[in-house]
Amino acid sequence: MIRDCTPVDLDVVHALHVDAVLHSTAIWQDEPHPRAYFDDWLAERRADGYPVLVAEVDGAVAGYATYSAFRPHQGYRHTVEHSVYVVEAFRGRGVATVLMDALTSEARAEGRHVMMAGICSSNTASIALHERLGFTTVGVLPEVGRKFDRWLDLTLMRLPLS
């Protein structure tokens, strides 16, 4: 089941964030945000009119997906950049696919024109997921990031919505 994120879901959102920061290059940050950060984060997303969707499987939050502005200037208002995270125990079961279907539907309903993803080039699972969803790679930015003592390349993927 896909539904809007509520404050009680934020423990899982925070846990996914901590895991991704500490153990992966899915997010290029060295220190995780504290749990309290996400209360403001959710409130801001809502105030700005951006969706935060969670997938629920057998009563448990299995993942979330959200988008916000691609870049801050007004001319980018028809373009959004998203993120999607699935709890490890629920991966490989189509959860991200269902979340992304709901997220792209919402973006289309909101009149967005393009959805962008910025993915670490070594994140083969995420790149494969996005290819399967119809995103195409439109650029690779070599060595624009650094984490775990190595340079990271950023793959930019694009999905036309209208």
Ligand X SMILES: CC(C)(COP(=O)(O)OP(=O)(O)OC[C@H]1O[C@@H](n2cnc3c(N)ncnc32)[C@H](O)[C@@H]1OP(=O)(O)O)[C@@H](O)C(=O)NCCC(=O)NCCS
Which of 4, 36, 46, 92 is in the footprint of ligand X by CB under 6 A? 92
Residue 132 binds ligand X (CB under 6 A): yes
Shortest approach of ligand X to residue 106 CB, angstroms? Answer: 17
Segment interacting with ligand X (CB under 6 A) among 34-42, 72-80, 104-112, 115-123: 115-123
Shortest approach of ligand X to residue 74 CB, angstroms? Answer: 26
Q: Which is nearer to ligand X, 29 or 111 (CB)?
A: 29
Say if CB 39 and CB 7 are below 8 A apart. yes
For 134: left if phi > 0, alpha if psi spans -120 to 50, otherwise beta; the answer is: left
| Spatial CA neighbour of 64 closest among 92, 98, 41 | 98
d(CA 52, CA 25): 22
d(CA 113, CA 21): 30
Segment interacting with ligand X (CB under 6 A) among 5-13, 34-42, 70-78, 122-130: 122-130
Q: Which is nearer to ligand X, 10 or 95 (CB)?
A: 95
x/- track of binding to ligand X for residues 29-48 (CB under 6 A): --------------------
Positive or negative torsion for Cα 90, 91, 92, 95: positive
